[in-house]
Amino acid sequence: MASTKSLLTMEFLFILSWWCLGGEQLSHAHTKSTLKPGEALRYPDQLVSADGRFRLGFFSFSSLDVSDVGYLGIWYSKDDYHTKLWVANRDSPISVSTANLTMEADGQLRINVNNGGSTIPLNSKQTAPNSSATLDNSGNFIVKELNPDGSTKRVLWESFDYPTDTLLPGMKLGIDHKAGKEWILTSWLSEQVAAPGGFSLEWSPVNGTGQLVMRHRGNMYWLSGVGSKSDFQNIVDQMTSDYVYYNFSYIFNENESYFLYSVPDGRISRLVLSSDGMLTDYPKPIYVRSGMCFGYSSEPGCVQQTSTSCRTSSQKFEQRKVRFPEGVSEWDYNWNTSISDCWTKCWSSCSCVGFQTNSSTGTGCLLYSGQFVDVENGINPQQIYVLITPKTMILGCLCFWTKKKLRRDQESNQEVEIALLFGDTKEASNDGKKGHDVEVFSFPSIVAATDNFSSENKLGQGGFGPVYKGKLPEGQEIAVKRLSRSSEQGLVEFKNELILIAKLQHVNLVRLLGCCVTGDEKILIYEYMPNKSLDFFLFDPKKRELLDWKRRRNIIEGIAQGLLYLHKYSRLRIIHRDLKASNILLDNDMNPKISDFGMARVFGRNAADEFTKTVVGTRGYMSPEYALRGNFSEKSDVYSFGVLMLEIVSGQKSTGIYHPEHHLSLVGYAWELWREGKGLELMDSTLVESHSEHQILRCIHVGLLCVQEFAVDRPTMSDVISMLTNEYLPLPIPKQAAFSTQRQLTVAGLLGGENECFSASATMTISEMDPR
């Protein structure tokens, strides 16, 4: 009797312990972390990491009696959301009830389908005898070749090298230069289909850190902004909340350049890129919301998408319970499309006002047109994305001009166009009232801030007009740019700069704080740059000594990153057209910020170049195709950047004369020295103590590639940054530099130092002498 009672007690304790520990963990107590040659893993058995945090096994999205189609994947053991972190066979779903994972004698890891009828190899090119496959405590599934004593000889293959839609702590996002491959995330097609979807997330190096770049079907969609130790510029608020903490690392060497992160021990973290473009440490916080950057979006980091003329910035799609009396207008049975593809397809069709997916798995599209009816209750109300046009919002930024100023003459129309640029601004009469990402200031407040534009506060004079230092009542220092009534730039350039810079956000672009228009006064207010502009230091015999090589290199790379953003990553594709030393401002830490967008042009995403009859720019910095023919493109800015690089290296102005016999410009002088193998002679003598000979010569080399005669030969800014940051990347030999020889222009010489306008149709005579 006692023995029976003891036995019952033991059974009770076993059942109680099973219940307390969570039946799943105990039921798989026989599982282990490693698969050895000759062993097989079948559903529902799992590999469990040594610390119990991760599991690997077969899974399906429904019970096996409904459908056993599924995948082999990895997930957290204690995850209430059952999020799959990695999928081995995302392109080839299988019958999980008849599949198994085996390791062959030669070390090949493969999924056997239909009881061995077919196979999916995982490491077919990375095998070796005496191997094993282990689910590591990091969540990485690793195939290792072993020594006779069982220790690791080498890693043959690892799941971290083949990420799907999730980045775990310790995983790399970036480029393996040695192997010639990238580590990128690719979203699932839908929540139930693991096949590659429409979104990808990649890593783009920036000045020793970098930024995350999200793409949709290959097109730029969202940018995180430059990263710091624990957050990114465009999502800093979400990443600095009380319950979020990251430690970011940025690695750059000859073999790899990548980003990875870590979190405090014990916290479950996984950055997931979802099928609808959401980026989240699942399930929260959410860093990029679903569909956030589609259409017209002013959210931080969003890259402006191409839109048809029938769509407006006030329109957007919202998910609602609605009914379309006319039914579906178009069926799309392409099961390789996802909800994001439906979004772009509907947005591009002027007749489409609603969409949803076409299957229970979240693929295909159903498009709707006509009127819809909101249905909260009723028979099977459906959640459908429908086109909404909100009430007109006040987006303005300028002081209000009443509509009585509307007249037929062109000048008044220009003023009204600016005043109504972002909408009616009646409510923006108070100082500091925010509109389209900038603030509105009254003229009296600007007068007070600058002490009535006193000469003591004057910082400089540009083509736009004078610039003054000011201080707001709360103590913030500002730079006030006042349009001169005699300015050549005038109203058009004022409006141009206001529109463009208000839509730009980058660490290497000057930040516009606000503006004001009162009568004839047109004013822009910027963040104050205490170190003025680059030319203030670079061309001063004493002050340039403060610019050691490390600072100059940082300035070069910062300008390059700012230009790359303008050309490729901003919501608008922008050509600056007036890049020069005086338009590069320096902050407290001597970091560069590109300024003066009065002459900038918005450029078509697919345009190669454009033409203007009026060439506006600065002599010595203009590319030949722009100065002589009026053609401008990204390569025009690349030319200006090349000239600026040579100035930074040499400490000399581009407009000087550097050869008594041939009257060479700085570009010509650099070209001649490089051809003769004397490139270091171009270096500023103040850099003797701080320079790196290799880096100096590489910068001169890249600079000469940027100033080549023909635009097609010049690199893009993406190429330039790769050349500057990857010192092991081979450089092509530069061809003939533009304006390197004596050129006589009947209109005007290009070696002067002032801003000029030229007629692009003007005739010119060119004679060349080969430099000796």
> Which positions are annotated as active-site residues?
578
Question: Measuring CA to CA, which residue among 290, 596, 359, 272 is closest to residue 464?
Answer: 596
Q: Which secondary structure element, helix H or strand E, spans residue 312, and what is its range?
A: none
Tokens standing for residue 171 = 């995983």
Number of C-beta neighbours around residue 374 at 10 A: 10
Number of C-beta neighbours around residue 472 at 10 A: 18
Distances (CA, A) of 603 to 633, 647, 734: 8, 27, 27
Tokens standing for residue 64 = 């096996």
288, β-bridge pairs:
279
Tokens 């004079």 correspond to: 461
Burial of 675 (0-12, 13-18, 19+ CB in 10 A): middle
Q: Which secondary structure element, helix H or strand E, spans residue 272, and what is its range?
A: strand 271-273
> What phi, psi does 77 have (nearest 5°)?
-65, -45
Name the maximum alpha-carbon separation found in the chain.
119
> What phi, psi does 340 have (nearest 5°)?
-70, -35
Query: What value, to the nearest 5°, has the Cα angle with vertex 633 and ends 632 and 639?
Result: 85
Question: Measuring CA to CA, which residue among 490, 476, 419, 478 is closest to residue 453?
Answer: 478
Query: Positive or negative CA dihedral for 31, 33, 39, 43?
Result: positive
Question: Measuring CA to CA, which residue among 572, 693, 632 is closest to residue 306?
Answer: 572
Contacts of 625 (CB under 8 A, 6+ apart): 609, 631, 632, 635, 636, 710, 711
Residue 125, helix vs strand vs coil: coil
Return d(Cα 611, Cα 142) in angstroms, integer: 56
Distances (CA, A) of 499 to 236, 272, 385, 502, 561: 25, 35, 31, 6, 21
End-to-end CA distance of the chain: 113
DSSP secondary structure string for all residues of 491-540: HHHHHHHHHHHHT---TTBPPEEEEEEETTEEEEEEE--TT-BHHHHHTS
Find out whether 306 and 571 touch, Cβ atoms under 8 Å. no
Q: For residues 537, 513, 241 and 291, what is the CA-based torsion angle, rounded to 10 degrees?
A: -110
Return d(Cα 646, Cα 707) in angstroms, integer: 10
3-state helix, strand, coil in the chain (%, to 5): 25, 30, 50
Burial of 290 (0-12, 13-18, 19+ CB in 10 A): middle
Query: Positive or negative CA dihedral for 714, 717, 723, 729?
Result: negative
Find out whether 572 and 502 touch, Cβ atoms under 8 Å. no
Residue 144, helix vs strand vs coil: strand
